[in-house]
Structure 1
Amino acid sequence: MSTQHACSEDRMVFHSLGYQYNLDSPGTELIDCLYGEMLGKHTRHEVETGQARRGECFKGGGTMPMGDFLYVKWRDKATGKEYEDRVDLKSRLPSPKDMFGQTVYFLVDENQLFVYLIPDSDIEGKRNHLPPGKPANGPDGWDYLDVKTLYPDNSPPKVRGGNVKWRAQRDAAKKKEDGQP
């Protein structure tokens, strides 16, 4: 067995890649994406022969290699301008042991790519839930978990994406509960 093959087996772990592009990144169109060397549900042959687009990005989980990078290309629907970004994940992701059950999640906000690590959680318990007093971070709907921003570096915690109207209603209800005007 080659060294390269042995290294890739070491990086095989149960985890997932997620995104809800239409909900989290309105006003943009996903053109292409690639998580590591994975082509998702298509084989390399299908992509190279034009039977499938590489942009039909894999979305799901299972035991798979941890991606060394995430490449995303998108179009701003209002301007027609295309953007792309490639994020080095090798230094940003935890060890394969610590990666088990987590989700690499991406969205685009104001034509900036954001990549998050959403931890595994249990519904009834408090495993990986957001500690009291810590600001929520990451994609809407996951704000009860201690989500880590992988990219861009030094981005302040903020909930992004999701249905903006629903989030505004939730925030207003929470302020009312807390006695704020």
Structure 2
Amino acid sequence: MGAQLGCSDERRFAFHGLAYNQAVDMPDVDILDCTYGDGLGAHTQHEVDTGQAKRGECGNMSGDMPIGDFLYVKWRNKATGKQYEDRVDLRKRLPSAKEMQGTEIYFLIDENQLYVYLVPPYDTETRLNYLPPGKPANGPDSVSFLDVKTLYPDNAPPKVRGGYPSARAAREAAEKAAP
């Protein structure tokens, strides 16, 4: 028999990115461990446990790379010292390799909940993938002008999260004042 095309263990590749901005979007947490798929930020558990390596360097990269099957993040709340972790299965949440071209998977932590977004490619001249009029903004504050999709958690209502403290405070005050 010949080889089957589209085997489930065949890796999909696309030019895309993975990013987070801890200092701006989540200054109240420390990222302790982070892995996107099997190919990025990969250190052995022993290296992480002994302090020789930290997987947090998996963030803020882009290129023609494998589309990850999962995103794992472990973090510590600086105020309480409590640790959290979450592993998101991305296999059914991400689009085809063709549709992944130029996108960015972006994560942030808000009130000890991991949020994962798919940020589309955009063009300022043509306003490609800009937020349609009347549609509520969603995702990280830095891209609130784009039509961002929430990948995780399921059924999370559209909301802008993160951003510099002054912008976050102004946004939250406006949300409270709204009817």
What's the TM-score bracket when you normalise by the shorter of the two chains?
0.7 to 0.9
RMSD across aligned C-alpha pairs, in angstroms?
A: 2.9
Pairwise CA distance, 1:6 = 7.3
Mapped to 1, the partners of 2:138 and 2:90 lie a distance apart of: 19
Mapped to 2, the partners of 1:73 and 1:22 lie a distance apart of: 16
The 8 Å contact of residues 43 and 55 in structure 2, kept in 1 or not, is answered as no
Mapped to 2, the partners of 1:170 and 1:58 lie a distance apart of: 26
Mapped to 2, the partners of 1:90 and 1:13 lie a distance apart of: 14
Mapped to 2, the partners of 1:172 and 1:59 lie a distance apart of: 30
1:54-93 equivalences under 5 Å are 54-93=55-94
Partner amino acid, structure 2, of 1:85: D
1:32 aligns with 2:33: yes
SS of alignment partner, residue 39 of structure 1: coil
1:2-151 equivalences under 5 Å are 7-8=10-11, 11-40=12-41, 51-151=52-152
TM normalised by structure 2 equals 0.84
Mapped to 2, the partners of 1:50 and 1:64 lie a distance apart of: 27
Pairwise CA distance, 1:139 = 0.2
1:164 aligns with 2:165: yes
TM normalised by structure 1 equals 0.83
Identity of aligned residues (%): 59
Mapped to 1, the partners of 2:20 and 2:135 lie a distance apart of: 24
Partner amino acid, structure 1, of 2:10: C
SS of alignment partner, residue 7 of structure 1: coil
Please, which runs of 5 or more residues in structure 2 have no aligned partner?
none
Pairwise CA distance, 1:166 = 2.5
SS of alignment partner, residue 141 of structure 1: helix
SS of alignment partner, residue 76 of structure 2: strand
